[in-house]
Amino acid sequence: MSKRWFITGGTPGGFGMAYAEVALEAGDRVVLTARRPAELTSWAEQYGNRVLVVPMDVTDAEQVARAVRTAEEHFGGIDVLVNNAGRGWYGSIEGMSETSIRAMFELNFFAVLSVTRAVLPGMRARGSGWIVNVSSVAGLVAAVGFGYYSATKYAIEAVTDALRQEVAEHGISVLAVEPGAFRTNAYAGFAEEPVAEAIPDYHDMVQQVRAAFVDMNGVQPGDPHRGAHAVIAAMTQDPPPRRLILGNSGYDAVIDALEQNLSDIRSNETLSRSADFPA
């Protein structure tokens, strides 16, 4: 049976479009939201009435409510929500401006909650649905110079885990997806904006982080379409996984980090267990 998708973050050359194209290839119908919908007009035309591009800034609660209502009226419901909109910026934990930190949480965390909470009532009423939250490898392995971006994604991981348990009995499945470095336009912006690190002591560190992103632009190993295919394959598993890491380097980095964490925690087992009242 064909599914009805609601995908945020419809930027040309981005992951959102890859999800949309893979869903459309499968014969499904797609609502793709975009801040600049005009950029997607000619792309959308090739799919006729199976795709609807809706203007939506994910950080605008009224626009979110309107877009979800439009999608539900147009296709009769939403079967799969992909929370894909988001972006990252670099800076030190000490030095990044409070405005930037809050803007990043607004976009990467609070906006995801707002879209999810708008879509859930319809899914609960129908007793079925899928929520796919696009996190990042940085949501499982904190990235130096990218700490606040990591923090927004760690927050997504926690909400995704709790939500999965809360909605399971209502027939709704929830998946976190952690892409590593994928060949999207997300990296292109890094070349144009200078490092705005307020504290000179961290300037070199942040400059190196930026240089790595700039160097990677256009040669990232991850293929967004293969990534989207992997996500759809994961959704058909019984039972489906709770999270899916995308890409070789991301997979290796996460496994290494988790194994290190485990060994670190175990190495202090005696101290950990010493903190209770005596039995």
Helices and strands (H, E) in the chain, number of each type: 11, 7
> Which of 153, 154, 173, 187 is labelled catalytic?
153
Do residues 234 and 80 lie in contact, with contact meaning Cβ atoms separated by under 8 Å?
no
Query: Does the active-site annotation cover 90?
Result: no
Please provide the DSSP assignment of 30-53 as one string.
EEEEESSGGGGHHHHHTTGGGEEE
Do residues 234 and 244 lie in contact, with contact meaning Cβ atoms separated by under 8 Å?
yes
Distance CA 54, CA 57 (A): 10
Amino acid in the structure at residue 25: E
> Which of 19, 90, 114, 135 is labelled catalytic?
135
Amino acid in the structure at residue 70: T
Distance CA 212, CA 194 (A): 14
> Which of 19, 90, 148, 149 is labelled catalytic?
149
Query: Does the active-site annotation cover 153?
Result: yes
In the sheet with 29-34, reading across from the earlier edge strand, the strands are 51-55, 29-34, 4-7, 80-83, 129-134, 172-179, 243-246
Element (H, E) at 55: strand 51-55
Surface-to-core class of residue 269, CB atoms within 10 Å of its CB (0-12 exposed, 13-18 middle, 19+ buried): exposed
Residues 6+ positions from 229 with CB-CB distance below 8 Å: 22
Indicate which residues carry an active-site annotation.
135, 149, 153
